Amino acid sequence: MSEVPDPVFAQSMVGPGVAVLPAGGRQDALSPVDGTVVTLHPHAFVVATEGGQGVLVHLGIDTVKQKGEGFTLHVVKGESVRAGQPLISWDPDAVAAAGYSPVVPVVALDADAAALSGVLTGGTVDAGEQLFAWD
C-alpha cells in the first residue's frame, strides 16, 4: 500500500490493505467478501460483512475524474453479494491510457493493521484469491 500513488491510500489513512496492479484488458472487479454493498460508485465500492467490517475496493487512482466512463455496474447499493461475485466491469488499460494509475487498493476500512493477517505481498494474484484475513 505504501507504493500507491495517492497519500490517502499510501499512508493507510482509511485503513490497511493490499494494492493490486491488475492485468490489462477488460475485466470484472469481484466482491472481496460476503456482505452488503453499502457504497457504490462506478470506480469504487464498499462491501460490509454481517459483522460490520467494511472492505473498500477502489478501481484505479483518481478515476473518479472519469465520471463513470468505461465502468459498468452489475449491482446496486444495498444488494447482498457473495465473495467472488462480479460487481463492476472495467478496463485497467483504458484507465492508464486516460492518464490515471490502474492500481487497485483493497482496504480494510478503519481497521488496525495488526488486525490483518495473511496479507499478500508481491507476486501474482488470481481472481478470487484471498488478499488478507481480518481477525
- Residues identified as active-site: 58
Distance, CA of 3 to CA of 16 (rounded, Å):
13
Residue 38 Rama label (left phi>0; alpha psi -120 to 50; beta): alpha
Distance of CA 122 to the CA centre of its chain: 17
